[in-house]
Amino acid sequence: MNIKLTKKSLGWTSTLLAAVLLTLTFPQQAVADNNDPPGRVARIRYLQGSVSFQPAGETDWTAAVTNRPMTTGDHLWADADSRAEVEIGSAIVRVDANTGFSFLSLDDSTVQIQLTDGTLNLVVRRLGRDEVFEVDTPNQAFSVMQAGQYRVQAGADGASSMVTVRQGEGEVTGGGQTYNVSSGQSGTFTGTDSLDAQVYAVDKPDDFDNWSQSRDRQYEGSRSARYVSPDVVGYEDLDNNGSWRSDPTYGNVWTPTSVQSGWAPYHDGHWVWISPWGWTWVDDAPWGYAPFHYGRWVSLQGNWGWVPGPINYQPVYAPALVAFIGGPGFGVSIALGGGGDVGWFPLGPREAYVPGYNTSPGYFNRVNTSNTNISNTTITNIYNNQVTNNTQNITNVTYVNRTVPGAVTAVPQTAFRTAQPVARAAVAVNAKQIASAPVVSRAAVVPTRDSVLGKSPATANRVAQPPTAVANRPVVAKAKPPAPPVPFAKQQQELAKHPGQPLAAHEVQSLRPANVATAQPQVKQAPPGKLTAPTMKPGPPPVAGNAGRPTNAPPASPPANKPGTMNTGRPASAPPAPAKPPARPVPTPENRPPAAPQSNQPPAPHPAPANRPPAAQPQPPKAQPAPPVGRPVPAPENRPAPAPRSNQPPAPVNRPPAAQPQPQPKAQPAPPVSRPMPAPENRPAPAPRSNQPPAPVNRPPAAQPQQQPKAQPAPSVQSQAEKARAEQKKREEATPPKN
């Protein structure tokens, strides 16, 4: 037991000693790290249709290009019928049509996305213990709690949103409330001051979901994942564009197979200015991201190969892993007005990268050890000699790629600073020029507005842009984002003092007005949320959308199947409106029997129930007695009771079963043979009544439902017969008998 305790104590002592030694070695690291740029950025990976890009702090939009890095403050807009894909390393963000988003914050521990309108699909591969991954919409902030697959939609009304969790776990905060959304659930959230939540089962994927899943399947089982760190952005694109092999000197090497003869790294692309790194390379090849921001290049038997960094290190992004050459006399051209050229070549394995921006010793160590095999002693010596002393010329290092034929690429400074294609603007330099020119850590070229946009003024702002209401819509945030970026125009004067060197964080801060708040103007900080149980709803979420909104976005008004919102104006739960009372006249004249015009024929109104559509009678109406003889046809409910007609033959005897209060199927009126027939001479003129009895005979078959709630016989026939017999008897009594 004592031995185990001793070992444990020694272990803690060793850990503490190592921490002390690290502090002594880099005494300013704890303070200087605040000025270090992030080790993680996003990459525009795929574009479809019309997609626009707005650099941080700018008001102009330009056409988005693949492989452009994205960082805090950058915006992306996918116009109608357009889509985009952005890769972060541990996550993928996919953008549907009519969607605008930006990064409120993107660094080593935070991904905070601003979604003002539209739909995002997220695939979060890994989530650190203290990592923040948040999507902020106009009425709520959604926090990803686990790795998984998510969909977030912001409604076009600015007061509704929807969150779908296919896999994982998430949390919605807004209006002082917090709701949990679990795997297999979709939640609709409406309101701003108070957040109302309704949770449904996840619906089947739509077209955007299917597209996203197909993109995921495209990169499943990547072979390159066996050779690189999982957080190297863009390694999946290496599979179909090159091959891997093992080299005894450099280890695993990837060789591109889709390049032309004489190709060299950092030759097909352009340079842009991205704060806080400065000059950044954007390659044209679809696979051209990972090999130009991580690892090193080496020439093997005349072919270029890419050597990734150690697989077990957290990779640190670099804007371009090159060494620059230039200075007075390098590439001077009279045709260019005496301006010098700018040249560069790729760094080789075990060669240190010296950033052109301000860094701490800790960052300098991480950016090198994560991208190549290099000793800590070498890193420390180079940092002390070049970074601490601010020495730009590197004279004590032999670079393996500097003398490789075709490795050095050079362009005029004007082409460099205006983001022109390098392959088109490249100038020839000979070995003598290369050997005599000094090697420097940064390109001493002052950036311009074109450098930031990445396009010339002729093409800037001639692209699709989000509507002003969408672009200026504020969002709710749970995590506090950093201060908004300072526009390039405010930095340009200071940048000219030190060509090619970005401003340090404290220098940028000094450019902010002292009396202006540093909070994001388009961000509303969410108050602490009280955990609230959402309303659980059966079935899939409501589907509502239009050309300017995501397909399944929650509608601005309540869904049509919600009580009180049907187009009919009555509650959805109410039964269909019943037909009007039986007193309603016959709907269509053509369905009335021919004898209907005769006012002395009471049966005329009886066809009315038969002509009503079956769906209009949810319940059979109450049976009504027959009207009295000779009375004008009344509404059925106003007919008197049959009691006054006691001198008639018993009505129930001749009435068909349909006259009973209960509905009888296929009730038919009494056939004419069952009616007492008067003497022919005493009948009324037969012509008007030739087609009258029985009334149902001439009705169109379609107008008779299966059930006749009130089928009534024609009582007036019997009354007329009695009257005829009475008149005949009077005549007989008035005629004297014959002798």
- The confidence score (pLDDT) of residue 392 equals 63
Question: Over 90: is that where the pLDDT of 445 sits?
Answer: yes
Pairing status of strand 91-95 against strand 69-70: unpaired
Which element (helix H / strand E) includes 493? helix 488-495
The mean per-residue pLDDT over the stretch 428-445 comes to: 90
CA dist., res. 576 & res. 284, Å (int): 64
How confident is residue 339, by pLDDT bands cut at 50, 70 and 90?
Answer: low
Look up residue 341 and give its two tokens: 């050229």
Q: How buried is 735 (Cβ within 10 angstroms: 0-12 exposed, 13-18 middle, 19+ buried)? A: exposed
The mean per-residue pLDDT over the stretch 726-736 comes to: 68
129 contacts 104 by C-beta, under 8 angstroms: no
pLDDT tens for 630-654 read 444 444 444 444 444 444 444 444 4
How confident is residue 26, by pLDDT bands cut at 50, 70 and 90?
Answer: very low
**Residue 506 DSSP one-character state:** H
How confident is residue 436, by pLDDT bands cut at 50, 70 and 90?
Answer: confident
In this structure, of 180-194, 200-214, 317-331, 448-462, the range with the lowest mean pLDDT score is: 448-462
How confident is residue 330, by pLDDT bands cut at 50, 70 and 90?
Answer: low
The closest alpha carbon to 409, from 331, 334, 356, 354, belongs to 331
In this structure, of 67-76, 124-133, 540-549, the range with the lowest mean pLDDT score is: 540-549
- Strand partners for 393: 440
Q: How buried is 221 (Cβ within 10 angstroms: 0-12 exposed, 13-18 middle, 19+ buried)? A: exposed
- The confidence score (pLDDT) of residue 736 equals 58
Residue 16 three-state SS: helix
- CATH level 3 topology of 39-207+465-525: Jelly Rolls (2.60.120)
Look up residue 63 and give its two tokens: 């056409």
CA dist., res. 310 & res. 371, Å (int): 7
Comparing 684 with 124, the larger pLDDT belongs to: 124
In this structure, of 113-122, 337-346, 379-388, 669-678, the range with the lowest mean pLDDT score is: 669-678
The closest alpha carbon to 167, from 222, 109, 122, 110, belongs to 122
- The confidence score (pLDDT) of residue 397 equals 83
Task: Give, in order, the Cα–Cα distances in Å from 156 to each of 134, 423, 476.
Answer: 20, 43, 15
- The confidence score (pLDDT) of residue 213 equals 96
Q: How buried is 598 (Cβ within 10 angstroms: 0-12 exposed, 13-18 middle, 19+ buried)? A: middle
CA dist., res. 117 & res. 698, Å (int): 64
Please state, for a pLDDT cut of 70, what percent of the chain lies above it.
65
- The confidence score (pLDDT) of residue 384 equals 86
Cis preceding-peptide flag for 276 (omega within 30 of 0): yes
Q: What is 531-567 written as a DSSP string?
A: E-PPEE-SSSPP----TTS-TTPPPSSPPTTSTT--T
- Strand partners for 173: 141, 178
CA dist., res. 173 & res. 610, Å (int): 60
- The confidence score (pLDDT) of residue 386 equals 79
574: left (phi over 0), alpha (psi -120 to 50) or beta: beta
Highest mean pLDDT among 83-97, 654-668, 696-710: 83-97
Comparing 399 with 717, the larger pLDDT belongs to: 399
> In whole angstroms, how large is the CA radius of gyration of the chain?
43
The closest alpha carbon to 60, from 381, 462, 556, 408, belongs to 462
pLDDT tens for 227-269 read 999 999 999 999 999 999 999 999 999 999 989 989 999 999 9
pLDDT tens for 356-413 read 998 999 999 999 999 999 999 999 988 888 777 666 667 678 899 999 999 999 999 9
pLDDT tens for 475-527 read 999 999 999 999 999 999 999 999 999 999 889 999 987 766 666 778 999 98
CA dist., res. 425 & res. 256, Å (int): 23
How confident is residue 692, by pLDDT bands cut at 50, 70 and 90?
Answer: very low
- The confidence score (pLDDT) of residue 459 equals 53
- Any residues with CB less than 8 A from the CB of 301 and at least 6 apart, and which? none
- The confidence score (pLDDT) of residue 698 equals 45
Comparing 549 with 218, the larger pLDDT belongs to: 218
Comparing 49 with 328, the larger pLDDT belongs to: 49
Task: Give, in order, the Cα–Cα distances in Å from 367 to each of 360, 370, 374, 503.
Answer: 11, 6, 11, 19
pLDDT tens for 550-605 read 444 444 433 333 333 333 333 333 344 444 444 444 444 444 444 444 444 444 44
Sorted by where each begins, the domain ranges of the chain are: 2-31, 39-207+465-525, 223-453
